[in-house]
C-alpha cells in the first residue's frame, strides 16, 4: 500500500486541481478550484468547448459588456466544476469573485447566482461548496447562505480568530493554508533545516483541530496549500486534506504506511463567549502573518479573476 492509499483510510483526500486527468488518476472524494486553478484549466484542450458554451450563455443572458464578461467567467467556473463532478463522488468548491470579499450582500448574491447556474446544469446544491475568503463579511454571508442550504468553504484562513469565527457561525468547511503560513515565517526567519515539529502552518492546523474537537464544533477542517509531504503526513487524521497533483504523485510513489497523527476524542463542551465583530477584527489584527497573507491572497485571487476576464473578453 502506498502513502496515498494509506492516507485515504484516515483522511478525506481532496484534489487541489481543475485538471480532469489528475482527478481521474488520483480518484479523490472531492475537488476544489479557485481563480488561479480556473485560469490554468481554461488553457487545457478538454475545456475549450466549455469556453465557447460559457460565451454563448453570457450573450444569451444579455446585459452590458461587463455583465456579459462577468456571466461568462462565472459560467466557465460552473461548467468546469460540473465536468469535474462527473469524476468524483463528493463535492466541488467554486469560488466567489475575491473582489467582493468585504461585501456581505454581494457575496450572498453571487453565491446564489453560482448555485442557480449549477442547478441549470442539473446539479443539486448539495454537491456544491461556495468558496469565500475568511473575512468577517464572508463568514457572515456563509452563515446566511446556510439557511438556504448553501454550504460554504471558507478559504484563505490563517488566524485562530478566523477559525473560531467560522466555527461559531457553523460554516460547513474551512481551509487553513499550511504552506502559505510556512512561507511567511520562512521569509522572516529563514531556517535551512526543516522540522515538521516546528512548522507554524502545521502547528496552526493542529491547534484548530484540537479546539474544534474539544468543543464539538461540526465545521470540517481541510488543510490546504501544502509545500511538502511532511506537512501532509503530520496532519494525517485531519478531517480533509486538499493536495496538489505533484504532492499526490509523491505520496503515491512512497510505499510506507501512514500513521494517524490527529486524533482528539475528549470533548469538554465549554461554554465560550461568541466573538463579536470588533473582537474578531482585533484578534485577527494581532496576527501580523494572518493580516498580510489574507490581504495578499485576496489580491492574488482578484488579479487572477481579472486575468480570466481579459482572456474571455478577447473571445467575444
Scanning the structure block, which residue is given the C-alpha cell 460565451? 55
> Grid coordinates standing for 124?
443539486
> Grid coordinates standing for 78?
460552473
User: Residue ranges of the alpha helices (H) in the chain?
Assistant: 3-8, 20-26, 35-41, 48-61, 65-85, 104-120, 136-146, 160-168, 178-188, 200-214, 229-233, 245-253, 277-285, 288-313
Q: What is the DSSP pairing of strand 12-15 with strand 30-32?
A: parallel
> Grid coordinates standing for 259?
500513521
Rg from Cα positions in the chain:
19
> Grid coordinates standing for 285?
489584527
Which residue(s) pair with 224 in the sheet? Answer: 177
Q: What is the DSSP pairing of strand 151-157 with strand 173-176?
A: parallel
CB 172 within 8 A of CB 147: no
CB 37 within 8 A of CB 17: yes
Q: What are the residue numbers of the active site?
A: 131
Residue 246 neighbours by CB distance under 10 Å: 12
Sign for the pseudo-dihedral over CA of 183, 189, 195, 201: negative
Amino acid at each position: 500500500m502506498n502513502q496515498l492509499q494509506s492516507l485515504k483510510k484516515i483522511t478525506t483526500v481532496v484534489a487541489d486541481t481543475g485538471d480532469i486527468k489528475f482527478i481521474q488518476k488520483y480518484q479523490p472524494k472531492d475537488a476544489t478550484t479557485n481563480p488561479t486553478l480556473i485560469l490554468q484549466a481554461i488553457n487545457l484542450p478538454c475545456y475549450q468547448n466549455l469556453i465557447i458554451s460559457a460565451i454563448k450563455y453570457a450573450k444569451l443572458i444579455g446585459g452590458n459588456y461587463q455583465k456579459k464578461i462577468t456571466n461568462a467567467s462565472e459560467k466557465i467556473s460552473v461548467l468546469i466544476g460540473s465536468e469535474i463532478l462527473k469524476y468524483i463522488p463528493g463535492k466541488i468548491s467554486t469560488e466567489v469573485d475575491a473582489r467582493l470579499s468585504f461585501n456581505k450582500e454581494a457575496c450572498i448574491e453571487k453565491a446564489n447566482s453560482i448555485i442557480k447556474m449549477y442547478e441549470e446544469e442539473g446539479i443539486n446544491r448539495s454537491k456544491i461548496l461556495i468558496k469565500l475568503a475568511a473575512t468577517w463579511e464572508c463568514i457572515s454571508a456563509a452563515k446566511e447562505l446556510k439557511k438556504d442550504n448553501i454550504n460554504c468553504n471558507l478559504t484563505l484562513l490563517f488566524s485562530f480568530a478566523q477559525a473560531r469565527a467560522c466555527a461559531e457561525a457553523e460554516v460547513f468547511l474551512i481551509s487553513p493554508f499550511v504552506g502559505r503560513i510556512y512561507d511567511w515565517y520562512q521569509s522572516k526567519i529563514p531556517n535551512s533545516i526543516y522540522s515538521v515539529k516546528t512548522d507554524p502552518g502545521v502547528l496552526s492546523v493542529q491547534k484548530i483541530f484540537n479546539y474544534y474537537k474539544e468543543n464539538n464544533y461540526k465545521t470540517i477542517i481541510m488543510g490546504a496549500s501544502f509545500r511538502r509531504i511532511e506537512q501532509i503526513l503530520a496532519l494525517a487524521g485531519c478531517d480533509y486534506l486538499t493536495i496538489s497533483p505533484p504532492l499526490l504523485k509523491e505520496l503515491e510513489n512512497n510505499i510506507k504506511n501512514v500513521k494517524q497523527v490527529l486524533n482528539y476524542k475528549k470533548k469538554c463542551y465549554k461554554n465560550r463567549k461568541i466573538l463579536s465583530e470588533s473582537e474578531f477584527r482585533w484578534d485577527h489584527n494581532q496576527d501580523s502573518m494572518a493580516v498580510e497573507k489574507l490581504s495578499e491572497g485576496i489580491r492574488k485571487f482578484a488579479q487572477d479573476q481579472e486575468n480570466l476576464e481579459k482572456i474571455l473578453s478577447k473571445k467575444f
